[in-house]
Structure 1
Amino acid sequence: MENAANYTQRLLKGGARAHKSMGQVFLMSDDVIERIVSATTLQPDVPLVEIGPGLGVLTRVLAPKVPKMWAVELDNQKIEILNRELKGLPIEIVHQDALKLNLKDLWGDQLGYLVGNLPYYITSPLIMHFLEQADRLSGMTIMIQKEVADRIAAPPGSKTYGILSIAVQISAKVTKVTDVLPSAFRPSPKVTSSVLRLDLRPYPGFNVNKNDFFRVVKAAFSQRRKTLSNSLTGGLGLKKEDVIERMQGVGISEGRRAETLSIEE
């Protein structure tokens, strides 16, 4: 198989272009591709979808390893390239905005797997869109901006721990696979990327209405510099003495800040 760099350079010389408005960059590293493939669940009975295949540099490696996969692409030019370059492989090209993709339309009631180099400008909305379809997914291997990946994987007590960390960790076990330098892409982005593996599962011991839970989370992080009792008082519109009483009732001191609390707390 043609290596990733030669494949991409050939298509760029043939007129392929990265559209900045779509946040497009093209992966050219066989080493990174191998790491993504190794971190992706590839089984005969697990459907596979790729988000944002671009020129198909990863798609052409994944497709021969599964009975059927889908590649979701919005750019008309890239769809023409994919149809030409991937002809003969067991893959269906889906011309659609990934933010509107319903996984049930692809594989019904099965649990599938998602892989993709997600556009930086819609990374968080895309992740949340697919986490909302957790009943159709066993997991995801995604490449995103390192700064966002660090926020997702952040533990309690760190400066980057926040709403996004909790929103993802409550639905998935997060594992960082590797960091990816700008030199691995053409054109080179201005930031480092990271590959994450998200294994979806119910959060252990979590038994509460998620809407109520996230009302509290958002209120707690609404003013990060304030103590938790002050943030919750303002964010939930409650009396401070009531908030303090409830916090003490579960063993949380009033001087704690939101970023120090675990999901259980």
Structure 2
Amino acid sequence: MPRATSQKFSRVHQSAPKKGAHNPSSSGGSGSSSSQITNPIFNTARFGQHILKNAQTCQRCAEANLKPTDKVMEVGPGTGNLTIKILEKAKHVTAIEMDPRMAAEVIKRVQGSPAQRKLDVVIGDFVKVEPLPYFEVCISNTPYQISSPLVFKLLSHRPLFRVAILMFQREFASRLVARPGTALWSRLSANVQLYAKVDNIINVSRNDFRPPPQVESSVIRMVPIDPPPPVKFEEFDGMNRIIFSRPNKTVRGNFQAKGVMKMLEQNRKTWMATREMPIDDNSSTSELVDKVLTDAGYMESRAAKMDIDDLLKLLSAFHDIGIHFS
């Protein structure tokens, strides 16, 4: 059984089950029937997993934007209920699973079937897998603890994928699709929507999982903007980290928070020194920030109501006078 992140279960994986290991046929599964929804008993607490068991929900996730020519990367296949549905629709699936027992279960479910040739399984933590396999579509029933890292790893991946169908806890999903001026519009919303179009596909009941989680879930569709905007993420996020710290407070008020001006002053000096530019000490960083906010018209604005265009305009104005955020 593979141990390193970069290793794979191959299509011809034939490891014999250990004594006392779970037999999928004893709980309703079959190695030769890939269309069944099986739910073998695993202790899923170790990796925070909740196995999607509702066949209709699996079908809806698998059908969302899939083409017969697609190469799919699935994150966290669990016991393979959703994987089987994806294999019926796509050309190839690479499933990345952290739990070796579940990876073995997925392989067993397709052995001896036509789907066997269409599936590879990688054992490892998705966040640490390098390089990622080539994929056009990503589908994931995402553990809560890697929700944000997964989103930003996908958005930074090249070449760009066509679409991602991602299941998250509903609160997190709602923040991803939130719009400016709504209660959930946040730094996360802005950072993601700078690089992708995001919308909600379906809401999923906690009873569709085994064991049921404490919260409801939602499936979102994320389509990367192609070509991506020529904006350095660290700069955009650095500014947002300041102004979204208290989104209903004025932008100027957030820039006056303890330590912010000192950090910006140091960044400005470093940036100008690397370009061998003279540092103008006639104006303090605080005065320069106020000038930018006044000239750009955002002195009394609040991040909670600023859209992507507002944020990009403000970032550009700061850059024009040598103020950077990373």
Distance 2:227 2:286 in 1: 30
- Deviation string, structure 1 residues 222-241 (Cα, Å, up to 9, x no partner): 23343111112433546444
Q: Percent identity?
A: 26
Distance 1:203 1:181 in 2: 36
- Deviation string, structure 1 residues 233-264 (Cα, Å, up to 9, x no partner): 43354644433321232233x22211110011
Give the deviation of 1:179 after TM superposition.
0.7
Distance 2:232 2:49 in 1: 38
Mind listing any 5+ residue stretches in structure 1 that lack a counterpart? Answer: none
- Residue 256 in 1 paired to residue 301 in 2? yes
Q: Which amino acid aligns with 1:31?
A: Q
* TM-score, length basis structure 1: 0.86
Contact 1:52-1:73 within 8 A present in 2 as well: yes
Q: Name which one, 1 or 2, has greater alpha-carbon Rg.
A: 2
Contact 2:51-2:79 within 8 A present in 1 as well: yes
Q: Which amino acid aligns with 2:255?
A: L
Query: Which of the numbers 141, 157, 180 marks the counterpart of 2:181?
Result: 157
Q: Which amino acid aligns with 2:127?
A: L
* TM-score, length basis structure 2: 0.71
Query: Which of the numbers 129, 144, 147 marks the counterpart of 2:153?
Result: 129
Mind listing any 5+ residue stretches in structure 2 that lack a counterpart? Answer: 1-33, 265-284, 311-326
Q: Which amino acid aligns with 2:297?
A: G
Query: Which of the numbers 85, 100, 106 marks the counterpart of 2:133?
Result: 106
Query: Which of the numbers 152, 156, 174 marks the counterpart of 2:198?
Result: 174
Cα distance, 1:218–1:236 mapped onto 2, change above 3 Å: farther
Give the deviation of 1:202 after TM superposition.
4.1
RMSD: 2.1
Give the deviation of 1:43 after TM superposition.
3.9
Distance 2:155 2:254 in 1: 27
- Residue 72 of structure 1: aligned partner: 96
Q: Which amino acid aligns with 1:215?
A: G
- Deviation string, structure 1 residues 86-119 (Cα, Å, up to 9, x no partner): 22311001112100123x5522xxx621001010
Aligned pairs, number: 250
- Residue 91 of structure 1: aligned partner: 119
- Deviation string, structure 1 residues 175-201 (Cα, Å, up to 9, x no partner): 100111111111111100000000111
The 5-angstrom pairing of residues 2-21 of structure 1 reads: 2-4=35-37, 7-8=38-39, 11=40, 16-21=41-46
Distance 1:174 1:36 in 2: 15
Give the deviation of 1:69 after TM superposition.
1.3
